[in-house]
Amino acid sequence: MKVGLIYDPIYLKHDTGHHPENAQRLAAIVSHLEQTGLKEQLTPIAPRPATKEELTLVHRERYIAQIEETARRGGGWLDMDTVLSADSYEAALYAAGGVLAATDAVIKGKVDSAFALVRPPGHHATPSQGMGFCLFNNIAIAAKYALTKYKLETALIIDFDVHHGNGTQDAFADNPQVVYISTHQYPHYPGTGAVTETGHGPAQGTTVNIPLPAGCGDSEYQQAFEQVIAPITRRFGPQLILVSAGYDAHWADQLAMMQVSTSGFARMVGVIQELAGELCQGRLVLSLEGGYNLTALATSVKATFEVLLGNADIADPLGEAQRRWPAPDITPLLKKLKEIHQLD
């Protein structure tokens, strides 16, 4: 297996200070990949800055100009959660462009799959608003880019970040070419992602929200993947699978109340990789989203790369969740999802 790694020190220049989404996240990941020798097994792919034309595949020109001007003035706050520094606009261009470079490499067959370790993250960014630590919606831009440049007819986005990707949902709510599937803690930030949000008009049914209650862990996520995500993916038959890979559902993460382990993330990625191999010639692109416990984040990203490389042994130094909350019964939720999306 040839697996691409997209990374550049430019991503560290998005200076957020003591914000939870800070440069230490990527530094911890890269250091762990280097110390364990895994980085040597990966194929480096250089990112490039996205063009303004590419950004406008998702974002409005006025919003792009706002981000550029805010950075030019030295930075500032878009909202109470989302901050820019002087270099944030450039970093955000390279974040979006890094996922585009990953998409190019996968579609052209230079690598079997690719993981873009980028920041700022993207899945909360709507066409006209940055929020939730996000500036440009990296994964949504990549999906529209793939449809436009390579004339793909279908693409599928799986988002396993603990927060609902409201920006990605907004980008494709009326686009029948893209299925968006999200597992997320609910209710939780940003408050969207109810099971009844399924898309509009010709895209009715192409938005699939799996709003999981707090306390869900490996077992509950595995049920969601096996009973909902896999059958919907097979029915849709995408030509490309993209993943918003957020690791804040880890039991050690401080920003949510889920109980997924590093091994649990590895099993999710394994299911996605199998689906990509079965349905779209293995074409799989991942983009980093959340994850704020540095050890949990670094080990989970490494586990993801191990799965993509086909390595069987997954190191999980933090182990299984020490349950802080009882495991919820998600059977009624799965039943409702099957009814809404007409699954057997």
Cβ neighbour number for residue 131 with a 10 Å cutoff: 18
- How far, CA to CA in Å, does 69 sit from each of 62, 63, 282? 10, 10, 40
Active site (annotated) includes residue 163: no
* Catalytic option among 124, 184, 188, 341: 124
> Which residue type occupies 144?
K
- Enumerate the H helices of the chain as residue ranges: 24-35, 52-55, 61-72, 88-107, 138-149, 166-172, 218-224, 230-236, 262-279, 294-309, 331-340
Give the C-alpha separation, 132 to 285, whole Å. Answer: 22
8 Å CB contact between 45 and 4: yes
C-alpha–C-alpha distance, residues 282 and 224, integer Å: 22
Contact 98, 157 (CB under 8 A): no
3-class secondary structure, 177: coil
List residues with catalytic annotation: 124
